[in-house]
A and B are shown apart, each in its own frame.
Chain A
Amino acid sequence: MRVNQKRHISSRKTVLLLLAIATFCVIFFMTFNLKGNISYILTHRVWIALTMILVAFSAATSTLLFQTVTNNRILTPSIMGFESLFVLIQTVVIFFIDAQGIPYIGIVGKFIFESLLLILFSLFLYRGLFTKLKQNLHLVLLIGIILGTLFRSFSNLLQRLMTPTEFAVLQSRIFATFTRAEPVLIVFSLVIATAIGLFLWRMRFRFDVLALGRDNAINLGIDYQKSVTIILLLVSVLVSISTALVGPFTFLGLLIANLAYSISGSSQHRFLLPTAFLLGVIFLVGGQMFLEHVLNMVGALSIVIEFIGGSLFIFLILKKVPM
């Protein structure tokens, strides 16, 4: 018992330490080099910081939940093509309901519509895949990559057929940048993310049981099918949030989830979830500051994170998956 308590204390300490670093990063990001029209710059920075926090939350929780329910630490929603599917949905929506049509339903309305489509398609496409093919990681990975490529190619095709105005509207959505998210969408996402966060916190012990695998989870009285459906639904909403705000971010989730596994010292979701989330905030906000103020490279953050995350992915594939 004593060693267990010690481990829990250290896992908690890790969370608190990360919380301190993340808070410091956010405050520093807001206040550093504050000159000129202060209220304008501050508002601008608040929106960017909120966007980054939302993206960190979505990437961390969607990846952790996805990996818990699929019992692996390599596949993530992004790698399995969720984001590409969302981009495809965005493309199709703009293609068929032209850019002028969007003001009628509003940005939030469009977001809800697109998320619902993503939920629908992901339940249809992925639900069977995880319960049936779980034994064969390689096959599932391959299917995911093929699906992702298919969605991307189809988006590309439609983008080529678009009028330049439509394409301009779309283009701003499908490249990861943190500076152009709509405030109304940020606020709306914040409300949804908070609701999801509270819900997840209530389910935190159930996730620990789900991580034991299907058979053990059923043995311990968990309604497995229902849990898988709920998690896929939440993952879809979270992917929608982050993709709608900043665009696709393939390897961020993989990076922070795997770092969380190794530094948390616990397999319990009450530690893993906050650890991964705070790591995400530190990576995004801290990384942005570092690149902007130290290296003078604005706008390169997504490239750097994708590079590190992508390298980790290759490393994990080579190291952990028995060939």
Chain B
Amino acid sequence: MIKIDNVSKKYQTIPVLKNVNATISQGGVTAIIGPNGAGKSTLLSIISRLLLADEGQVKIQNMDVVNTPSDKLATYLSVLRQENRFTSRLTVFELVGFGRYPYSKGRLNQDDLAHIHRALEFLNLTEYKDRFLDELSGGQRQRAYVAMVLCQDTDYVLLDEPLNNLDMKHAVAMMKQLRRAADELGKTIVIVIHDINFASVYSDYILAMKDGQLVYQGSPKKIMNSAILEEIFDTPVKIENIHNQNIAIYY
């Protein structure tokens, strides 16, 4: 369980998070939605100790993310930011292998190799494992990053806009893979996502943010409501039930 307790954060004098309280229960896919600048990425960064909160605290499995040794947390929680550009020239295998660092500290053993191959397999990257990252398409590269965090084999996996730069086909494939990671591997997946229809179809729980505050939370069924979405996004939204899924029409 991730417990977010009264978290506030300012950049210089501009508040980006105001007293956020939330609980993300174990298992399933939780989506964080909201307009640009709502504080979604900031919240994700604070949960994953990449950023310090000014006030409040975040606990994962009852461990305070600030005080718990970072290498211990790395075996419970993994995070992938949006921007990943490396100066090192790495192969897919090397990148995914980094996911084992919290356990092996660089010396890969048989168990680590098994994990790496499983992660490659899971994201259909086995045939590309010896390619350099700069030789891959955007979609393949994004999958390689996700493979790295899955290879870290943590109960909690946090992803900041994992669908960024993915076309329709790859976005759907990525969401299905994350869904499978939750269902088959028992991971707790937390994603920041822009496309609310993906959140509606693939997530179990939605946290909706606006102006640094958590304004709504609940099942997709509850959040996929035109009044709620119009309030969050300040734009007309209609909800249609298509094939038993709530789809927002806002084009």
Chain A residues within 8 Å of B, Cβ to Cβ? 1-4, 7, 67, 71-73, 204-206, 208-209, 211-216, 218-224, 267
Shortest Cβ distance from residue B178 to the other chain A in the assembled complex, whole angstroms? 17
Q: Which of B110-161 contact A (CB under 8 A)?
A: 129-130, 149, 152
Complex partner residue of B70 from A7, A72, A208, A221, CB under 8 angstroms: A221
Complex partner residue of B79 from A72, A204, A213, A219, CB under 8 angstroms: A219
A222-B71 CB under 8 A given contacts A206-B106, A267-B94: yes
Contact B74 A219 (CB under 8 A): yes
Query: Can you report 30 A-B residue pairs in the complex whose CB atoms are below 8 A from each other?
Result: A1-B93, A1-B129, A72-B87, A73-B87, A204-B106, A205-B106, A206-B106, A208-B98, A209-B98, A209-B101, A209-B106, A211-B87, A211-B88, A212-B86, A212-B88, A213-B85, A214-B50, A215-B50, A216-B98, A218-B48, A218-B49, A220-B98, A220-B152, A221-B72, A221-B75, A221-B101, A222-B70, A222-B71, A223-B71, A267-B94
Shortest Cβ distance from residue A248 to the other chain B in the assembled complex, whole angstroms? 26
Across the interface, which residues of A come within 8 angstroms of B73, CB to CB?
221
Interface residues on B, range: 35 or more
Complex Cα distance A209/B75, Å?
15
Across the interface, which residues of B come within 8 angstroms of A2, CB to CB?
130
A220-B91 CB under 8 A given contacts A204-B106, A211-B86: no
Across the interface, which residues of B come within 8 angstroms of A72, CB to CB?
87
**0/1 per residue, B1-43, Cβ < 8 Å to A?**
0000000000000000000000000000000000000000000
Across the interface, which residues of A come within 8 angstroms of B102, CB to CB?
220-221
Question: Is B194 interfacial (CB-CB < 8 Å)?
Answer: no
Question: Is B185 interfacial (CB-CB < 8 Å)?
Answer: no
Contact A220 B101 (CB under 8 A): yes
Complex Cα distance A193/B145, Å?
37
A4-B70 CB under 8 A given contacts A205-B101, A212-B88, A219-B79: no
List the B residue with the shortest CB-CB distance to A221. B74
A212-B98 CB under 8 A given contacts A205-B106, A221-B70, A267-B88: yes
Question: Is B89 interfacial (CB-CB < 8 Å)?
Answer: yes
**0/1 per residue, B62-91, Cβ < 8 Å to A?**
000000011111110011110011111111
